[in-house]
Amino acid sequence: MSESSLSAGRPAGVSRPAGSGGGANLADILERVLDKGIVIAGDIQVNLLDIELLTIKVWLLVASVERAKEMGIDWWEHDPSLSSGSRRKDLLEENERLRAQLELARGGRAEQ
């Protein structure tokens, strides 16, 4: 169906609905934001009679994982609750520490 046949049923001066054709545009915008990254910053202040009671500083970064790594942001790789690799590393370190303690305990008994 062509654009002219779609607009034929609408009164003059009425444009297309805002949602039509927006899916592709939204996908393009999202792809661009994730590729480039975007930072949103702001402050929230609570005042009572010109007395500042609370200030919250908010920084929000929206980017793809690859872009975040390029910027040096990779905290999720080192967080034990988010990364299985980090958990494995922690377990290996604990295992080595326990083995060393066990060897010390065995060595102490053998000398007595």
Q: How many CB atoms lie within 10 A of CB 89?
A: 13
Instruction: For residue 102, name the pLDDT band (cuts at 50, 70, 90).
Output: very high
Q: Which helix (H) or strand (E) holds 27?
A: helix 22-36
Angle at 90 between CA 85 and CA 91, to 5 degrees: 95
- CA–CA dist 29, 18 (Å, integer): 16
Asked if the model's pLDDT at residue 42 lies above 60, the reply is: yes
Asked if the model's pLDDT at residue 100 lies above 90, the reply is: yes
Asked if the model's pLDDT at residue 19 lies above 60, the reply is: no
Instruction: For residue 24, name the pLDDT band (cuts at 50, 70, 90).
Output: confident
Strands in the chain per DSSP E: 38-48, 51-62
Collapsed DSSP state (helix, strand, coil) of residue 7: helix
Q: What share of the chain is helix, strand, coil (3-state, %, to 5)?
A: 50, 20, 30
Q: What pTM does this model have?
A: 0.39
pLDDT given at position 23: 65
Percent of the chain with pLDDT over 70: 69
pLDDT given at position 10: 47
